[in-house]
Amino acid sequence: MTIGTAHQFDIAIVGGGTVGISLALGLLRDTELCIAVIEPNKFQKTTDHPGFDSRCLALGNSSFEYLTGLLSNVSTDAKPSFSHCPITHIQVSDRGFVGKCNLSAKELNVAQMGMVVPINELGQVLYADFHAALARYPERLSLVCPATIEAATQQRDAVALTLSTQEQLAVSMLVLADGGRSPLRQQLGFTEHSEDYNQTAIIANVQMQQPHANRAFERFTENGPIALLPLEDFVGSDTQYAGCTYSLVWTVASAESELLQRLLSDDAFFVQQLQHYIGQHHGRCVKVSERASYPLALRYTEQVQQHRCVVVGNAAQTLHPIAGQGFNLGLRDVIDLVALTAKTDKDELGSWQHLHRYATLRKPDRDLLMSATDTLVRSFSNHYWPLVLGRNLGLQTMNSMAMLRNNFARRAMGYR
């Protein structure tokens, strides 16, 4: 659809990353509303988009089920074609201490507890599906790209938008899905909070000698957690060690700038240090990909709604990757907003009542995950003896109590 001056849309979504496109496809499938996606980055393929980088996502079962259902039903008949590696076992341990907890899909009577998915591959499928939807539903779905919002005025019945293209839009509801550094949040009245963890995450793919057998590991160290997630073999991996590839997230103190630079640039040093922290349980590290890094902080908005505006995904809350729950939480924002909007009369769309119901619905899940993640970071990233004793006792207790262990596992799988 060509957007004319002061064109009317029911919903405008700011941000064409994983959360924004998932929301657009969900609304397209489950409602009859007209949707515009406003994306600032010009990209012909997902590798051009900063949201589709080298990270991997640990999708809980509920998240994976929602995405595969969405992608196979909205605009094409094809099943999703991105690689995905099941997680059937998770071991959580505290380096240098006895605390350890094992979670098993078999004990929960499920095939897997989640899937590890390269975000770039997922992005390619979402991007292709979205563009197929643009062609199939030109009267209901539009993409404005590249474009930014230069002015947003919250009126009684609409939000008036002025784009960098000089186009004018009027929308009943504006959704910010443009990430943790969304430039619009403060302008629209959202109160932002940020707490720096003084940690940096290094991400890479590594190939070990021992097969991962679909097992994931999270090991806590004094500098932060190290996560190893089972992954399908990457391009260039050694075929002698097929089935031995992991996605690695390694947390390092940001103050250790010299260490960080060596880990990012020196393969031999990286492997030596990695073996020091994870031990020999996985055998020797035989190959490592290029590394990337990003600083870690807790960022969130005090409220997820303002007049005719709502925030979702990382624009609402950006979590530490310690438990791999950030994207899962953001996708549940999408799931709940789509479900609630589908039950809302069109003349009530974007109203205080509509968005207040959404905020109320999301609050328990959001508060619990933000609190739990923040507590884990602060409790496990040090060697303060009372905390060491408490966390190891907690891990051992959970490991010995099936009901507690399985309730925790089901929550990690995304079931509420």
Q: Above pLDDT 70, what percent of the chain?
A: 92
Q: Above pLDDT 90, what percent of the chain?
A: 69
74 lies in some domain: yes
231 lies in some domain: no
Element (H, E) at 206: strand 192-208
| Three-state SS letters, 68-131 | HHHHHHCCCCCCCCCCCEEECEEEEEECCCCCEEEEECCCCCCCCCEEEEEHHHHHHHHHHHHH
228 lies in some domain: no
- Model pLDDT for residues 268-324, shown as the tens digit of each residue: 999 999 999 998 889 999 999 999 999 999 999 999 999 999 999 999 999 999 888
Q: Cα angle at 284 between 283 and 288, to 5 degrees?
A: 125
Task: State the sign of the Cα–Cα–Cα–Cα dihedral 244, 247, 253, 257.
Answer: positive
Q: Provide the 8-state DSSP code for 290.
A: -
Quickly state the pLDDT bin for 79 (edges 50, 70, 90): low
- What's the confidence (pLDDT) of residue 2? 40
253 lies in some domain: no
Beta-bridge partner residues of 175? 13, 310
- What's the confidence (pLDDT) of residue 409? 77
98 Cβ partners below 8 Å, 6+ apart?
392, 396
- What's the confidence (pLDDT) of residue 389? 76
Higher pLDDT, 43 or 250: 250
Mean pLDDT to the nearest integer, 61-84: 76
224 lies in some domain: no
Instruction: Kindly give the residue spans of alpha helices, DSSP state H, lying in 237-384.
Output: 257-265, 267-278, 326-342, 352-380
Nearest-angstrom CA–CA distance, 32 and 10: 10
Q: Which of 112, 109, 59, 108 is nearest to 82 (CA)?
A: 59
171 lies in some domain: yes
Quickly state the pLDDT bin for 414 (edges 50, 70, 90): confident
Mean pLDDT to the nearest integer, 97-107: 86
The count of structural domains within the chain is 1
On whether the CB atoms of residues 86 and 42 are closer than 8 A, the answer is no
AA identity, residue 401: M
- What's the confidence (pLDDT) of residue 235? 66
202 lies in some domain: no
- Model pLDDT for residues 50-60, shown as the tens digit of each residue: 555 678 999 99
- What's the confidence (pLDDT) of residue 1? 39
pTM: predicted TM-score of the whole model, two decimal places: 0.92
Q: Provide the 8-state DSSP code for 239.
A: G
Other Cβ atoms closer than 10 A to 234: 16
147 lies in some domain: yes
Nearest-angstrom CA–CA distance, 116 and 214: 10
On whether the CB atoms of residues 186 and 299 are closer than 8 A, the answer is no
Quickly state the pLDDT bin for 73 (edges 50, 70, 90): low
Nearest-angstrom CA–CA distance, 331 and 323: 15
Would the pLDDT of 45 be above 70? no
**Which of 66-75, 85-94, 333-342 is predicted least confidently?**
66-75
Quickly state the pLDDT bin for 47 (edges 50, 70, 90): low
What is the residue-averaged pLDDT of the chain? 89
Question: Which structural domain range is residue 336 located in?
Answer: 7-85+118-193+297-377
On whether the CB atoms of residues 333 and 316 are closer than 8 A, the answer is yes
**Which of 20-24, 193-197, 291-295, 404-408 is predicted least confidently?**
404-408
CATH number at residue 44: 3.50.50.60
On whether the CB atoms of residues 19 and 123 are closer than 8 A, the answer is no
- Model pLDDT for residues 137-171, shown as the tens digit of each residue: 999 999 999 999 999 999 999 999 999 999 999 99
- What's the confidence (pLDDT) of residue 4? 45
Nearest-angstrom CA–CA distance, 348 and 341: 9
- Model pLDDT for residues 195-206, shown as the tens digit of each residue: 999 999 999 999
